[in-house]
Chain A
Amino acid sequence: MKLYCLSGHPTLPCNVLKFKSTTVMLDCGLDMTSTLNFLPLPLVQSPRLSNLPGWSLKDGNAFLDKELKECSGHVFVDSVPEFCLPETELIDLSTVDVILISNYHCMMALPYITEHTGFTGMVYATEPTVQIGRLLMEELVNFIERVPKAQSASLWKNKDIQRLLPSPLKDAVEVSTWRRCYTMQEVNSALSKIQLVGYSQKIELFGAVQVTPLSSGYALGSSNWIIQSHYEKVSYVSGSSLLTTHPQPMDQASLKNSDVLILTGLTQIPTANPDGMVGEFCSNLALTVRNGGNVLVPCYPSGVIYDLLECLYQYIDSAGLSNIPFYFISPVANSSLEFSQIFAEWLCHNKQTKVYLPEPPFPHAELIQTNKLKHYPSIHGDFSNDFRQPCVVFTGHPSLRFGDVVHFMELWGKSSLNTVIFTEPDFSYLEALAPYQPLAMKCIYCPIDTRLNFIQVSKLLKEVQPLHVVCPEQYTQPPPAQSHRMDLMIDCQPPAMSYRRAEVLALPFKRRYEKIEIMPELADSLVPMEIKPGISLATVSAVLHTKDNKHVLQPPPRPAPPPSGKKRKRASDDIPDCQVLKPLLSGSIPVEQFVQTLEKHGFSDIKVEDTAKGHIVLLQEAETLIQIEEDSTHIICDNDEMLRVRLRDLVLKFLQKF
């Protein structure tokens, strides 16, 4: 069993598991942090961005000044943003049989895999995952395609040139494999390969393994996966949460008794407690708005935003914010808000019960009804008519490199009354802000990551007790910035196996058994013999028939009739010869009784010696030695076959034959 690790990002994993005869890809996350190296794509012409000076080498050579721009001491690529794909060279991706998706954040690289690698398999995901994943992809494509950029920079990627660039461009890995965003056509094609599944549904893969999605509690439709055969069980835990937020709670019990547990997608900010961060978010929002400032919340169009809106729903009255407009701007804002209300079966119990009242499960419906929350596909159109300040704007993209957020950063960045509050943990907020410097607006970092923290993981592992844990290497040591925090790493016994990008792990467990079926007529012919109370044995002579990873014992063909002619039929050559089998023996030899029996049969001067493995019975007179061990007995005598046979028969008296 092998694990091919195609992504080094612990929360955007992409691993391939070879298990029995199947090749299963676990998630295909897309690392978008590469976009932080690019200049933002402004929705409205930005003189500031277009007038940034080109970057030149120390010696004054300015051949890169078209591709690289300098802003407040940082250098950015002036080109369409590109993404860092999962590793494609480590394994032939056309051999992947199935792709299992855990949640909508972990499928963003899907079009790259399904459309460009010769992939012919099947993709499995839950319905909300697919629908919301589609929204995220649609938003991404829309954000990038609506601001077409003529220029495509590639000169800087040349290895010799890249060495000369300042950090972080100099240290960016595998820039040659970075790719532009996919198209909507590719998205549609990729999504058409997805087969929808429900929690606890068992899906057979070629008869060899069975995969099952389990609720992971992190997002609408998010799952962990069990991949099991009859005797082996691998659990794949990715993006799970034990907090009471909107999704169905995590199913922990089904993860028990795993041979291997692959653990990814833990919280990216282990020191930040989501409750505290929500409090921080609300307080800072209220303080800004009270002073007449605007609040900008760069966010994804689904996920934490539902919880934030719910929290604000309860908070705005107490904070005297009832008259402040909340705007949600995204090409998919409407669909996201509506979708969340219809996936009742994927919601937590409280929200499910609301549906029967009937009430919308999320209170943002009421915010929309009372006009406190308004949503728009973009800043163009209706929004510009309704826009009123001070206000709170939720919009993407959290990287601040594309989407409507770029416009608001340009618009509000100059005033210290305004605040940008980062709630998504995927991007470093300082790096995200770099191309907007110098910035007067206040920046608050309240990352809300509801995924498992290390305390919860250690409790989970204690409860489900997997034999082996496999996880990204980042989880096996404290975070570099807090090297003394030994509590911020996975602590389990035996220690977790770690992986990094482009590594192949041989998983530390051997398959020992395979299930074989016996045909009824064969089973009928067996005559079991009880060798111990409760244990019966029978010898089986059969033909092992293997097809589609299923093994069946069939009755042996009848012995061919004696040849009628002298000439043997060719056909009978194919039939294996059924030799007369020696009887099988079982049982153990009680030494004392054996010695008594020997004495009865005239042997004298018997001496018994205990050895590490059993006993040695010495017949001193006959110069013979009987070595009795757990699984073998040897009679060593000097060329006296008669004696040997006599002794053998005495030994056999103590054993059962069948």
Chain B
Amino acid sequence: MDPECSRLLPALCSVLADPRQPVADDTCLEKLLDWFKTISEAGSSLLLLQENPCLVELLFQVLRPQDLSARVLSFSLRLAGIFAAQEDCFQYLEGELLPGLFGEAGPVGQAAWTAPTVRSGWIQGLRSLAQHPSALHFLADCGALDTVFSLQGDSSLFVASAAGQLLAHILGLSMRGPAEGLPSLQAPDWPACAQKIVGHLEESLRSTAPPQVTQALNVLTTTFGHCHSPWTRVLWERLSPLVACLLEEDPLPAAHSLVDLLLSVARSPVLSSDCGLWETLAQTLRHLSPTQAGPLALGILKLQDCPQALRAQAFGVLLQPLACVLKAADQAPGPPGLLEGITGDSVTVDTLLSSKSACAGLLCRTLAHLELLQPLPQRPSPWPQAPLLGAAVTILQFCNGSAAPASNVGGRLCALLAGCVRVQRAALDFLGTLSQETGPQELVTQVFSVLLEHLRSPDSSATVLKKAFQATLRWLLSSPKTPGCCDLDPHTQLFLRELLPVLQKRLCSPCWEVRDSGLEFLTQVTRHWGGQAGFRHVLLTSEVPELAEQLLRDPESYVRASAVTAMGQLSSQGLHATTASPEHPGGQQKSLLVELLRILSEDSEGFPRRAVMQVFTQWLRDGHADVTEDTERFVARVLQAASRDLDWEVRAQGLELALVFLAQTLGQPGSHCPYAVAPPQATLHSPPAQALQALCRVRLFEFAFRALFDCDRPVAQKSCDLLLFLRARTVPHSGPQEAGGSPDVVSVEAALQRWRAGEQGPPLGDLEPETVLAVLRSMDLEGLRGALAESSDHVEESPQSLLQDVLAAVGVLGENQADCY
């Protein structure tokens, strides 16, 4: 601890111990605890206490009957725990203090105990303290365990959960060391603490009160999840009969916790080889309701080594709701697949049909589970792609009322699912995931047709449309290419021809979210297929490009931003100049550039301006024809607009664009786009002076120098990096004769000084490369980078500042010293 902090510490302790000076700010105490924890982890706590006796005095204050605030009491308990985590320090405090704090004489049972924060502090203190054998003896002797047991049912969920975790921790700690090996099943061989805890767990598992069972299951889940020592095997052997008894009960108590426990056990490397465990899992799968069984089935399927039969059973459970849906639509899974053998059992059907929310809930969960499972390497094989596709399509058809129900169940499902947005969203997500693999052509056609129905339907809500667009994109991009031909296959072509009128209509929607999703889709699909002749043809014969351009003036800023991105993409791919006459091939593009520059300088919202900067950076990187026509003019105009922008992201993006230009001008090896056509060979080898002149002409330096002192740190950092890069590339080339001290250099440095001080000042005007190089050389850019790398509040975050804050808040320090903010 630094001397200044040591000096302030006694005052702090007396403030904390004084009930008349309440500490208003909880976060200060949290920060203090963090600080003490860091100190004690770095060195000896005992030494710390000996050097700062005020700390021990503070802890003793707690023992005195007085009205300490609950938060200071909680703080002291946690602080004592942090110190006592080291065994020597524990022994130092053990005599009177620790029993006074954590024993029966402590806050337990007193008035302060009613505050959840005190109970929480007590538990956390014990949790920190319980690190060594001495702590275990202490725990066994002082009766704290019984209190922890009772706190498992605390009204505060935080306290209850911490109590459960503490028990798991103590159990693990007590089994460490001498008992580490394989203790017998017999209780007498176990350490006292462990015996007591296990006894308590056994009693809870036998209890008829579901909350107690849940608590015991949670403790065990934590234990088996964190500790993989051999003794856990013995523990499981001892407790598994009790768990098995739970499975006999109807209804199953604490089903969720039971699932968690069984999965935790199954994941444990010491336990998973247990055959009885697989039997228990199978039995549980059979017992749980369809809603509860889903998570267990998913967990089982995620396990690495698990008997094939169990996996099949689990997968069956997961697929059951979908089998019901297929059956209800009379689509007995025709194509061969796993669903074939699974007929929806009556319980699943009952759950599906019990209510709208139950039906939607079960289907959504099932689809989400399968979605998680799909990309995993250990997913069941063969993966029933075709039936799953069929099920997703059928669910979507039920939702939009186009499915033909084959039975009463189907009719009821139809009524429950009609217009159910939640299920539509889940099914569309799932359908998108299934695009990773293909399916029979007939089904793929159905997929595209159901997607088109959703995109077309006036009843599709904005969120459903967004998901439908996303799923469509995924299916489009995964559609196979015609062999031997790089263009799109005929089915896709046909689909696109139907899709674009729909997209056209959606771009005219009165709902801005819909216009926005439409534009995002357009951007994505163009990015991937801009080069495909088939796509280009369909797109150019539609009105979509014009509509997208019109949306550059949309009243909603998000839509304008998406339109900017979409237009940037279309233009990059040459999909915008449709109406340009042959004599002026760039005619339309020019107007787009002008329009984007207008948005950059005039738009009142940040999003469209940021989007413009991204488009411009990409255009520069890709050597967009319109940019390469006069790159310098382009860069100069963009930087000028960006430098005036109030949005820091626009300025930061301006630096990104400057960097690309710099790399192109100076011939940066491995520049962002190695295949870019932009930098002509001549530039690469041009002498630095010439290149520097180009940079001066576009006023890149003024932009970068101003950004260096930007009030937003990321901008300044980026500028600093840019200038460092520039210096590294240029200074070795410049001769020693270009020394500083010229009038120009002095004026530039003066301007920099003004900017650093936060003044605006006039522009620098035209700079000579020599002046710039001299300024660059004279600047301590490394130092600046170091300063910028520190977080902006590093001064205020120091422990010294923290102590001063606490003291200032209660008025112990003079006002002038207060670090107020």
Is A486 in contact with B411, judged by CB distance below 8 angstroms?
yes
Which residues on B sit within 8 Å (CB–CB) of A629? none
B460 close to chain A: CB less than 8 A? yes
Known A282-B509, A287-B505, A486-B412; contact A318-B543, beta-carbon cutoff 8 A: no
Is A317 in contact with B505, judged by CB distance below 8 angstroms?
no
Taking the closest CB of chain A, its distance from the CB of B465, in whole angstroms, is: 10
Q: Which residue of B lies closest to A285 (CB)?
A: B508
Known A284-B505, A287-B508; contact A276-B414, beta-carbon cutoff 8 A: no
A61 to B550, CA, bound (A): 60
Known A290-B543, A484-B405; contact A319-B508, beta-carbon cutoff 8 A: yes
Is A487 in contact with B459, judged by CB distance below 8 angstroms?
no
Q: Which of A271, A280, A284, A320 contacts B550 (CB 8 A)?
A: A320
Chain B, residues 546-578, CB within 8 Å of chain A (1/0): the string is 110010011110000000000000000000000
Is A276 in contact with B556, judged by CB distance below 8 angstroms?
no
Taking the closest CB of chain B, its distance from the CB of A45, in whole angstroms, is: 37
A314 close to chain B: CB less than 8 A? yes
B514 close to chain A: CB less than 8 A? yes
B671 close to chain A: CB less than 8 A? no
A276 to B415, CA, bound (A): 20
Which residues on B sit within 8 Å (CB–CB) of A280? 458, 505
Which residues on A sit within 8 Å (CB–CB) of B512? 318
Q: Which of B415, B509, B546 contacts A487 (CB 8 A)?
A: B415
Is A484 in contact with B458, judged by CB distance below 8 angstroms?
no
The DSSP consensus for interface residues of chain B is loop
Is A485 in contact with B459, judged by CB distance below 8 angstroms?
no
A314 to B509, CA, bound (A): 12
The DSSP consensus for interface residues of chain A is helix
A311 to B459, CA, bound (A): 17
Is B458 in contact with A446, judged by CB distance below 8 angstroms?
yes
* Contact residues, A439-483 vs B (CB, 8 A): 446, 455, 482
Which residues on B sit within 8 Å (CB–CB) of A507? none
The tally of residues in A whose CB lies under 8 Å from a CB in B reads: 29
Taking the closest CB of chain A, its distance from the CB of B595, in whole angstroms, is: 14
A243 close to chain B: CB less than 8 A? no
A184 close to chain B: CB less than 8 A? no
A393 to B618, CA, bound (A): 45
Which residues on B sit within 8 Å (CB–CB) of A279? 458, 509-511, 514
Which residues on B sit within 8 Å (CB–CB) of A320? 550, 553
* Contact residues, A248-293 vs B (CB, 8 A): 271-273, 276-280, 282-284, 286-287, 290-291
B667 close to chain A: CB less than 8 A? no
Taking the closest CB of chain A, its distance from the CB of B197, in whole angstroms, is: 51
Most chain B CB within 10 A, of A283, A287, A455, is at A283
* Contact residues, A15-73 vs B (CB, 8 A): none
Is B554 in contact with A485, judged by CB distance below 8 angstroms?
no
Q: Which residue of B lies closest to A287 (CB)?
A: B508
Is B555 in contact with A287, judged by CB distance below 8 angstroms?
no
B506 close to chain A: CB less than 8 A? yes
B401 close to chain A: CB less than 8 A? yes
Which residues on A sit within 8 Å (CB–CB) of B403? 484
A208 to B239, CA, bound (A): 77
B696 close to chain A: CB less than 8 A? no
A315 close to chain B: CB less than 8 A? yes
Taking the closest CB of chain B, its distance from the CB of A286, in whole angstroms, is: 4
Known A279-B458, A279-B514, A484-B404; contact A318-B504, beta-carbon cutoff 8 A: no
> For chains A and B in complex, what number of residue pairs have CB atoms within 8 angstroms?
74
Is B555 in contact with A317, judged by CB distance below 8 angstroms?
yes
Q: Which residue of B lies closest to A491 (CB)?
A: B415
B6 close to chain A: CB less than 8 A? no
Is A287 in contact with B504, judged by CB distance below 8 angstroms?
yes
Taking the closest CB of chain B, its distance from the CB of A442, in whole angstroms, is: 11
Is A318 in contact with B555, judged by CB distance below 8 angstroms?
yes
Which residues on A sit within 8 Å (CB–CB) of B414? 484-487
Is A276 in contact with B418, judged by CB distance below 8 angstroms?
no
Is B412 in contact with A273, judged by CB distance below 8 angstroms?
no
Q: Which residue of B lies closest to A319 (CB)?
A: B508
Q: Which residue of B lies closest to A489 (CB)?
A: B415
Is A282 in contact with B415, judged by CB distance below 8 angstroms?
no
A317 to B416, CA, bound (A): 39
B545 close to chain A: CB less than 8 A? no
A486 to B512, CA, bound (A): 34
Is A272 in contact with B459, judged by CB distance below 8 angstroms?
yes
Taking the closest CB of chain B, its distance from the CB of A380, in whole angstroms, is: 34
Chain B, residues 260-271, CB within 8 Å of chain A (1/0): the string is 000000000000
Taking the closest CB of chain B, its distance from the CB of A320, in whole angstroms, is: 5
Is B510 in contact with A278, judged by CB distance below 8 angstroms?
yes
Which residues on A sit within 8 Å (CB–CB) of B679? none
Known A320-B553, A486-B412, A487-B414; contact A286-B508, beta-carbon cutoff 8 A: yes
Which residues on A sit within 8 Å (CB–CB) of B556? 318
Which residues on B sit within 8 Å (CB–CB) of A482? 401
Which residues on A sit within 8 Å (CB–CB) of B550? 319-320
Is A311 in contact with B510, judged by CB distance below 8 angstroms?
yes
B390 close to chain A: CB less than 8 A? no
Is A484 in contact with B510, judged by CB distance below 8 angstroms?
no
B410 close to chain A: CB less than 8 A? yes
Q: Which residue of B lies closest to A483 (CB)?
A: B411
B742 close to chain A: CB less than 8 A? no
A320 to B507, CA, bound (A): 12
Chain B, residues 60-74, CB within 8 Å of chain A (1/0): the string is 000000000000000
A290 to B504, CA, bound (A): 12
Q: Which of A273, A284, A290, A486 contacts B415 (CB 8 A)?
A: A486
Is A277 in contact with B458, judged by CB distance below 8 angstroms?
yes
Chain B, residues 399-422, CB within 8 Å of chain A (1/0): the string is 001011100001110111011000
Which residues on A sit within 8 Å (CB–CB) of B510? 278-279, 282-283, 311, 314-315, 318-319
B457 close to chain A: CB less than 8 A? yes
Chain B, residues 520-549, CB within 8 Å of chain A (1/0): the string is 000000000000000000000001001100
Q: Which residue of A lies closest to B457 (CB)?
A: A276
A30 to B60, CA, bound (A): 92
A317 to B405, CA, bound (A): 45
Q: Which of A276, A315, A318, A455 contacts B459 (CB 8 A)?
A: A276
A286 to B405, CA, bound (A): 38
Which residues on B sit within 8 Å (CB–CB) of A446? 458
Chain A, residues 288-313, CB within 8 Å of chain B (1/0): the string is 00110000000000000000000100
Q: Which residue of A lies closest to B501 (CB)?
A: A287
Q: Which residue of B lies closest to A484 (CB)?
A: B405
Taking the closest CB of chain A, its distance from the CB of B672, in whole angstroms, is: 36
Which residues on B sit within 8 Å (CB–CB) of A283? 505-506, 508-510
Q: Which residue of B lies closest to A482 (CB)?
A: B401
Is B543 in contact with A287, judged by CB distance below 8 angstroms?
yes
Q: Which residue of A lies closest to B515 (CB)?
A: A318
* Contact residues, B720-774 vs A (CB, 8 A): none
Is A273 in contact with B508, judged by CB distance below 8 angstroms?
no
Q: Which residue of B lies closest to A312 (CB)?
A: B510
A318 to B405, CA, bound (A): 42
Q: Which of B459, B514, B543 contacts A273 (CB 8 A)?
A: B459
Which residues on A sit within 8 Å (CB–CB) of B401? 271, 482, 485
Taking the closest CB of chain B, its distance from the CB of A369, in whole angstroms, is: 21
Which residues on B sit within 8 Å (CB–CB) of A485? 401, 414-415, 418
A317 to B415, CA, bound (A): 40
Taking the closest CB of chain B, its distance from the CB of A127, in whole angstroms, is: 33
Which residues on A sit within 8 Å (CB–CB) of B508? 282-284, 286-287, 319
Which residues on B sit within 8 Å (CB–CB) of A315? 510
Known A279-B510, A318-B554, A484-B405; contact A272-B458, beta-carbon cutoff 8 A: yes
Is A273 in contact with B458, judged by CB distance below 8 angstroms?
yes
Q: List 16 A-B contacts (CB under 8 A).
A: A271-B459, A273-B419, A273-B459, A279-B510, A279-B511, A283-B505, A283-B506, A287-B504, A287-B543, A290-B543, A318-B554, A318-B556, A484-B414, A485-B401, A485-B418, A487-B414
Considering the complex of A and B, which 7 residue pairs feature the smallest CB-CB distances, nearest first? A487-B415, A276-B458, A283-B508, A280-B458, A286-B508, A282-B510, A276-B459
Given contacts A319-B550, A487-B415, 7 further A-B contacts (CB under 8 A): A273-B459, A282-B509, A290-B543, A315-B510, A484-B405, A485-B414, A487-B418
